[in-house]
């Protein structure tokens, strides 16, 4: 989906494929927000608003990769886009807002830019070795590659007769209730 009007159609098609037993994976960009609420405004997306692949079943996980040898070398040369003074000023505003009771929690992020040296598959293998387990994905859309080794399961929707269930495993911010 490259336009907001196409996003729901893509999600409906993916949902229908999943209900038929297919394995579906992909992503919906934050910039697709207006597809769900026109009042939400974002900057222009640098790729499709929604992209999914549909498969008959999962592929076997690749053999263990030791990351050795020249074909397995991958690294990133990072460039910070935020200088220290701007970072300190933003943190001070956040702390003031929390102290004033305007905010409870903020996940403050800043973009990093990097240049990949080597292949995305080798980088994914290195990330996987550094953070094993969790919920990893390497999505190759042809135009872009998305690599994630998140420890967090956002959600797993299990459709069942008479009702469904959603399983979520957040990485932080929640804990079982105590006595």
**Is residue 91 in some structural domain?**
no
Identify the domain containing residue 30 by its residue range: 1-58
**Is residue 51 in some structural domain?**
yes
Q: In whole angstroms, give the CA distance from residue 112 to residue 142.
A: 23
Output the six-digit token pair for 95.
């702390």
**Is residue 167 in some structural domain?**
no
Residues 6+ apart with CB under 8 A from 157: 164, 165, 166
pTM over 0.85: no
Output the six-digit token pair for 70.
């020249």
Number of domains in the chain: 1
**Is residue 154 in some structural domain?**
no
4 near 10, Cβ under 8 Å?
no
**Is residue 6 in some structural domain?**
yes
Mean pLDDT (the chain, rounded): 85
Taken as a whole, the chain contains a residue count of 179
**Is residue 54 in some structural domain?**
yes
Q: What is the pLDDT of residues 21-69, one digit of tens each?
A: 999 999 999 999 999 999 998 999 989 999 999 999 987 766 655 555 4
**Is residue 38 in some structural domain?**
yes
Q: In whole angstroms, give the CA distance from residue 92 to residue 64.
A: 45
Q: Which of 97-101, 112-116, 127-131 shows the highest mean pLDDT? A: 97-101
State residue 70's pLDDT score.
Answer: 47
Half-sphere exposure of 157 (CA within 13 A, CB side): 10
The DSSP annotation for 98-149 comes to: HHTTS-S-------EEEEEES-HHHHHHHHHHHS-SSEEEEEE-SS-EEEEE
**Is residue 69 in some structural domain?**
no
Q: What is the pLDDT of residues 131-156, one digit of tens each?
A: 887 788 889 998 888 998 888 887 77
């Amino acid at each position: 989906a490259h336009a907001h009007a196409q996003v729901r159609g893509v999600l409906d098609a993916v949902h229908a494929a999943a209900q038929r037993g297919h394995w579906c994976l992909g992503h919906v960009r934050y910039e697709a927000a207006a597809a769900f609420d026109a009042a939400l405004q974002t900057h222009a997306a640098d790729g499709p608003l929604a992209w999914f692949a549909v498969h008959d079943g999962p592929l076997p996980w690749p053999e263990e990769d030791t990351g050795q040898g020249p074909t397995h070398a991958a690294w990133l040369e990072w460039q910070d886009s935020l200088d220290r003074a701007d970072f300190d000023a933003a943190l001070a505003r956040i702390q003031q807002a929390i102290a004033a009771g305007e905010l409870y929690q903020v996940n403050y992020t800043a973009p990093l830019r990097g240049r990949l040296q080597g292949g995305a598959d080798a980088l994914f293998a290195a990330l996987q070795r550094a953070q094993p387990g969790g919920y990893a994905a390497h999505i190759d859309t042809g135009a872009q590659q998305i690599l994630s080794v998140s420890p967090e399961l956002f959600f797993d929707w299990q459709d069942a007769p008479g009702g469904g269930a959603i399983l979520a495993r957040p990485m932080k911010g929640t804990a079982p209730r105590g006595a």
